[in-house]
Chain A
Amino acid sequence: MPKTSAEVQGMGHSMKRKEDPRFLRGKGNYVDDVQLPGMLHMDIVRSPFAHAKIKSIKTEAALKVPGVLAVITGETLAKYNLHWMPTLMSDTQMVLPVEKVMYQSQEVAAVIATDRYAAADGVEAVEVEYDPLPVVIDPWEAIKPGAPVLRTDKKGKEDNKIFHWEVGDRSGTDKAFKDAEVTVKQDIYLPRIHVASIETCGCVADFDKVNGKLTVYMTTQAPHAIRTVFALVAGHVGLSEEKIRIIAPDIGGGFGGKVPVYPGYVIAVAASVVIGKPVKWVEDRMENLQADSFARDYHMTAELAAKKDGTITALRIKTLADHGYADAAANPSKFPAGLFSVCTGSYDVKKAFAEVDGVYTNKPPGGIAYRCSFRVTEAAHAIERITDVLAQELKMDPADLRMKNFIKKEQFPYKAALGWEYDSGDYHAALKKAMDKIGYAELRKEQAEKRARGELMGIGICSFTEIVGAGPSKHFDILGIKMFDSAEIRVHPTGKAIARFGTKSQGQGHETTYAQIVAEELGIPAAHVQVEEGDTDTAPYGLGTYASRSTPVAGAAGALAARKIREKAKKIAAHLLEASEEDLVWETGKFSVKGAPGRSKTIQEIAFAAYTNHPQGMEAGLEAISYYDPPNLTFPFGSYICVVDIDRGTGMVKIRRFVAVDDCGNIINPMIVDGQIHGGLTMGMAPALLEEITYDESGNIQGGSFMDYLVPTSMETPSWELDKTTTPSPHHPFGAKGVGESATVGAPPAIANAVVDALSHLGVKHIDIPITPEKVWKILKEKGVAE
């Protein structure tokens, strides 16, 4: 039950969203809606080859196209030393190439014109002559001795390896495997996918030559960090951080894809600085899918060691990570494989070892998230899939095997074998709730009956543990900037407030939930708390919104800033009530004198006094700022159960039911949490059944438009059934954990496990996602059960 009234709308209220009125009326302000006087348009020439030398770029014809003003090439940028830029992972990537292209659809030149049609005409008229080079697409080929070395720009580089990263007790784990009664091993591939937010990426760069100020309206999830990156990258050409303003306006979905700095942004900025006019660049969908950072592409080999009774004793995972031509992942700097080491999952595994090797190929750069916290989906898929492989080997029910190995409630805080300290959890309760809700025992009976009749039905479980809220400054930074986040609250004389945060909503509803946090802490109705973020000139510095960090980090900062305000409010109240501070008690929205009912001052009265009648010696005003450095990460979790039916004629997998029991700690807005889970489940189903980007041997992308990159529609998406348990985070100021990505992490293995379960009696042990009808039909055919 919420503690606050329906008027205040603090935590626990399903408040209708404050941002919706503008979106419902078509009055949102997305980047492509920004229209500035004299604004020019930019379009990009892209490479048809995956690996080729650039022999020449002829721009004369393009410059004759009516409306075309300039063509920018790598040579143009090289004059300013802006043709390469650093990635967030201390690698480098090209802004525009001078010597060679490294993937199909790579930026080759940019055309600036008076309108978007003229710019597109200009692109058609740019003539580029290429000399194709050998293409390396398969990462297994890329690591072989003698493979063509791709990063010839790196002096002395003799192979395509990027990094080797390992964690855990290698020899102890090896010994546990040697001594094990049972071991299982499975190759698991998580393919390359793309977040495909419905709004693509873009910017309007506006350089004011008179004031020397650069304003960039930009689809970014991390505006403050971007400002610093721009200052660092372009400092040598005179762009100084106080003269850079990044504005992230309304964003049409981010999911991780709007964290990186893409070449298009940098070229638009360079064009605006050189020409002195605003320049708009908005990519189209094919550019978005073909050139923006991708997610995953992890080739994993997972192994479990166990006793015959099902007790898991050790986990070992070896991974080859295909990063494309540059390591442009958006991980915290010390974590080249993100938080993959959460791969022991929800289980009490004593010995574990994981290693990841990053490798270059002729594909777009990346390794960013797809709505997940830095490689957690990969980790969850590995452990949840291999757990089912073990269950099958031991002929144990996968639910029993999980119950047997779960970390017990009383073991929290739990130190995992690979180093993480899980804050809180009750995994048994979540799985039991999911099993009760879906009727697990009855479903197993039904499955047995159907099997006897030759029908294919499967039940899949996933009991995932998330790791979000990056992160504690001791370990977490991006390019050296610690991963704190911030909130600044100002209470006005009439008792209304403005609250600004260092994060940036992309649909998560921060304008509502942050207002509810302030309402909960101060008793000011959420309706009267104006939330702003995304403008680096006004908001406090923060690291942005990704990895489910807004509530765990910036939300915590909001609560702490509000509590600072409450401390000052207490002093003012003591002054107004002529009482000592020790005699005052806080109930939502007012301070009262202990034992003197009726003697109280509301936050509104106190706010007024802060500007009109504050105590002598105290500064006027009522505001505070907080930069929150989380003491630990948070560990949301859940148990999902999926029921599928498989059509023996077509191989089509139909999700009949999907029950999701989530635990994200204390909840700010239940309606919004449910919405996040619905969306996350759908983005979990997408790669499980539909989405994949592949390349042919020549490096031609397959899946580079919505013609064949299959984003789920309303037809494939089931009606998700939700439930929850509530295990507050012990270290978070209001016990929240974050929820935006739990479902994306948990859904794919539940679905994959259900499909494999449906076919397990035929000897099927594993199917790589996406589990397409074609893949299933081939298996049915091979097993002689296709209709």
Chain B
Amino acid sequence: MATHRIQITVNGEAKEGQVESRLLLVHFLRENLRLTGTHIGCDTSHCGACTVLLDGQPVKSCTFLAVQADGHQITTVEGLEQNGKLHPVQEGFWEKHGLQCGFCTPGMMLTSCALLNRNRNPSEAEIREAISGNLCRCTGYVNIVKAVQYAAEKLQKEEAHA
């Protein structure tokens, strides 16, 4: 099977790989780079556990080929914490009990980050719509909504002080 040389910037670091055409991005991240925070929950791009950011946009890495990410920037859950400080979204999920088993959490947080990057003050309806492609079986979403609201408030405060 044909292989391709790819270069992807993952969490700010340049990564290279020689990959089969059919290799899924999620497997490249999890197995080639050992970034196992990105999870696999279904085969039909419904659950969103595999969500990562591609140039800032959420994509489901289980239905995205590694070769398609060639030359792009990928952010995974491992890239959210900066200089030993949790991202406000991570903090919000912890403060508001927005996670239980933790399996959907990385994808859920990355989708939330993408929402907050385009809308710093989302309504509950906007939050619910944004995360509607990420399934959570544990929390009933109530505390995830609160976690995102917490993060929104925190980001706004940080910017007001900046």
Contacts and interface: CB of A to CB of B under 8 A. Distances in A.
Given A26-B78, A198-B41, A678 B140 contact: yes
A707 B45 CA distance: 9
A706 B47 contact: yes
Interface residues of B, number: 59
A490 B80 CA distance: 36
B103 A30 contact: yes
B38 interface: yes
B137 interface: yes
B144 A24 contact: no
Given A20-B94, A509-B100, A714-B131, A255 B137 contact: yes
Given A198-B41, A678-B143, A706-B42, A23 B102 contact: yes
A26 B33 CA distance: 14
Given A253-B101, A715-B129, A719-B142, A199 B106 contact: no
A24 B90 CA distance: 6
A678 B102 contact: no
Given A24-B93, A33-B36, A200-B41, A711 B137 contact: yes
Nearest to A286: B43
Given A20-B93, A717-B140, A199 B39 contact: yes
A720 B142 contact: yes
Contacts of B41: 198-200, 252, 285
A671 interface: yes
Interface in A255-304: 255, 284-286
A24 B86 contact: yes
B136 to A, nearest CB: 7
Contacts of A19: 102
Given A26-B78, A198-B41, A255-B137, A672 B97 contact: yes
Interface string B14-35: 0000001011000100110011
B140 A720 contact: yes
Interface in B127-147: 127-129, 131-145
B132 A28 contact: no
A253 B138 CA distance: 7
A28 B35 CA distance: 11
A195 B20 CA distance: 35
B104 to A, nearest CB: 5
Interface stretch (A447-455, A460-468, A633-641, A679-687): A679-687
Residues of A in contact with B, size category: 35 or more
B101 A198 contact: yes
Contacts of B100: 253, 507-509, 675, 679
A412 interface: no
B143 A32 contact: no
B49 interface: yes
Interface string A500-511: 000000111100
A606 interface: no
B55 interface: no
B129 A198 contact: no
A715 B144 CA distance: 13
Given A198-B135, A719-B142, A284 B43 contact: yes
A509 B138 CA distance: 11
Contact of A707 (B44, B134, B139): B44
A673 to B, nearest CB: 10
A251 B138 CA distance: 12
Given A197-B137, A507-B138, A16 B76 contact: no
A717 B134 CA distance: 13
Interface string A5-31: 000000000001101111111111010
A211 interface: no
Nearest to A29: B36
Contacts of A163: none
B90 A252 contact: no
A421 to B, nearest CB: 32
Contacts of A252: 39, 41, 101-104
Interface string B28-71: 00110011111111111011010000000000000000000000
Contact of A681 (B86, B131, B140, B143): B140
Contacts of B97: 16-17, 671-672, 674-675
B113 interface: no
B149 interface: no
B104 A198 contact: yes
A672 B97 CA distance: 7
B49 A198 contact: yes
B125 to A, nearest CB: 9
A711 B47 CA distance: 9
Interface-centre pick from B37, B124, B132 (highest chain A CB count, 10 A):
B37
Interface in A176-227: 195-200
A76 interface: no
B63 to A, nearest CB: 12
Contact of A706 (B20, B31, B44, B104): B44
Contact of B137 (A198, A508, A674, A714): A198
12 contacts: A33-B36, A197-B101, A199-B101, A286-B43, A507-B101, A507-B138, A678-B140, A678-B141, A682-B139, A682-B141, A717-B140, A719-B142
The 5 closest A-B pairs by CB, nearest first: A26-B37, A507-B101, A252-B103, A23-B102, A678-B140
Given A17-B97, A253-B103, A719-B124, 15 more contacts: A16-B94, A16-B95, A23-B102, A24-B105, A26-B36, A507-B100, A507-B101, A674-B97, A682-B140, A706-B46, A711-B135, A714-B129, A715-B132, A720-B140, A720-B142
Interface of A: 16-17, 19-28, 30, 32-33, 35, 116-117, 195-200, 250-253, 255, 284-286, 506-509, 671-672, 674-675, 678-683, 705-707, 711, 713-715, 717, 719-720
